[in-house]
Structure 1
């Protein structure tokens, strides 16, 4: 190999390393509530150190049919966002159709408990995090968008910021889709389960102070109507929030674009809390 080729290869490897300097690992966490081991992708920034200042953490939830690697496949740029914003990103395996709540009829589907308690505890124990809601955010797409707002609305003591893209924020219009009935029972016979576990009915849990959140949806998305109704309900209740609608459907192209803005939203949230602490 010529000297020029060697130099070229070194430059290429250097550029590649600078682009993908973050580290991607798989963390297996045992869920006592479900009696099984669950895989989670954990992305640490290039600056990560187990000593010194802790790191904020962003949890990203996948959609129906996905797994813990789904975000890396759909939006590989999240590796660069970990470096750019100096945060840890965690992508849990929420099963293909868990919908991220604790199923009242299936004890093997307790994903609210898993993510909000078991996973959070393991991440804060195994990594150098700042274990406060002011330094913890959660987002997701589709089923994961529902999950992110569902978990954040119910646990503002755990997450200080949340975001949803193309989220299924009202599951009631879809009684026969995505195995929701397997988690809640049929709508006809278990209406209460559906009413109590749909995001749009959890607005009463918000006081407008303890959670910063953003949600967006494409106008061609089958979840657009539900997102619009959630936005209007929040306006009626005077609950501060950021809402975006733009051209697009339920597609990877939309989500790759959306996550860029949501990560910036989270970064602004983390930095604002850091500045408040410094001024105090």
Structure 2
């Protein structure tokens, strides 16, 4: 019998040490040939970073109306996590409301190509990274949670692990919200775009064990229902995953609490021998 891990956590403790941290924060100016423009990304390097080593990378996506600086500004403790787990964290700019799509109705928006190809290539060329899917994970909050699953499900050759925090993992119940109709066309006129580009309908791309998956959502969040539905669909398809719920809404307080657990999950994926010894 396959064992699944889906936990409900009511009280949590941050997984931090008392050690003083000194991670380096870079702002990289990358170029997207697909969109013919420069795009910024925050790159957090661990204190022990050396060009002679190879580091796993976690791509951390922001939400709707956010930008590349959101995570480092509002949750500066991600620097501690970079040091604690000796990994690189990259926070790209997904524009005001890209939803990380290559838009089928507006060719100027090609953020799927940017994040999954152009940015990954840039990071691998300019930093000492583990240059394969076993050394890459992607996660994000809200729009970024949708984006992380969307990109990882569609590009399993690029990412080996994926997470989502309070993600919009099914966009169809929200046809009038968050510029989605600008990226996909209206649901009334282009229902096929919505059906083909919502995370919950991409589960068919997964096979058991093909992608390490973790996601969570607060019980007071307006996305709680769609996250629970995704969990149930993954169960139906026999796809192993971690699904965590805890009290909380769609807030930075919730995401600051969530990110240490996501990074711990990815660290266990990057270093399975360490996980097995625990």
C-alpha distance in 2, partners of 1:97/1:114?
Answer: 14
C-alpha distance in 2, partners of 1:171/1:20?
Answer: 39
C-alpha distance in 2, partners of 1:256/1:246?
Answer: 13
C-alpha distance in 2, partners of 1:260/1:74?
Answer: 14
* Deviations 1:231-269 (CA, angstroms, capped at 9, x unpaired): 001111111110011111101111000001001101111
8 A Cα contact 2:172 2:195, kept in partner: yes
RMSD: 1.3
- TM-score normalised to structure 1 length: 0.90
C-alpha distance in 2, partners of 1:107/1:59?
Answer: 24
8 A Cα contact 2:268 2:275, kept in partner: no
Q: Which has the higher helix share?
A: 1
Larger-Rg structure: 1
- TM-score normalised to structure 2 length: 0.91
8 A Cα contact 1:61 1:92, kept in partner: yes
C-alpha displacement of 1:73: 2.0
* Deviations 1:87-139 (CA, angstroms, capped at 9, x unpaired): 01000000010000110111111000000000000000000101011110001
Mapping of 1:1-280 within 5 angstroms?
19-51=20-52, 53-272=53-272
C-alpha displacement of 1:273: 6.6
Aligned length: 258
C-alpha displacement of 1:72: 1.1
8 A Cα contact 2:142 2:167, kept in partner: yes
8 A Cα contact 2:268 2:274, kept in partner: no
C-alpha distance in 1, partners of 2:69/2:273?
Answer: 30
8 A Cα contact 1:136 1:160, kept in partner: yes
C-alpha distance in 2, partners of 1:198/1:76?
Answer: 31
8 A Cα contact 1:148 1:163, kept in partner: yes
* Deviations 1:160-187 (CA, angstroms, capped at 9, x unpaired): 1111000000001111100000000000
Tell me: CA distance 1:91–1:183, structure 2 relative to 1, closer, same or farther (3 Å): same
Would you identify which runs of 4 or more consecutive aligned residues in structure 1 move more than 4 Å?
273-276
Runs (5+) with no aligned partner, structure 2: 1-18
C-alpha distance in 2, partners of 1:275/1:222?
Answer: 33
C-alpha distance in 2, partners of 1:40/1:195?
Answer: 30
Runs (5+) with no aligned partner, structure 1: 1-17
Residue of structure 1 equivalent to 2:12: none
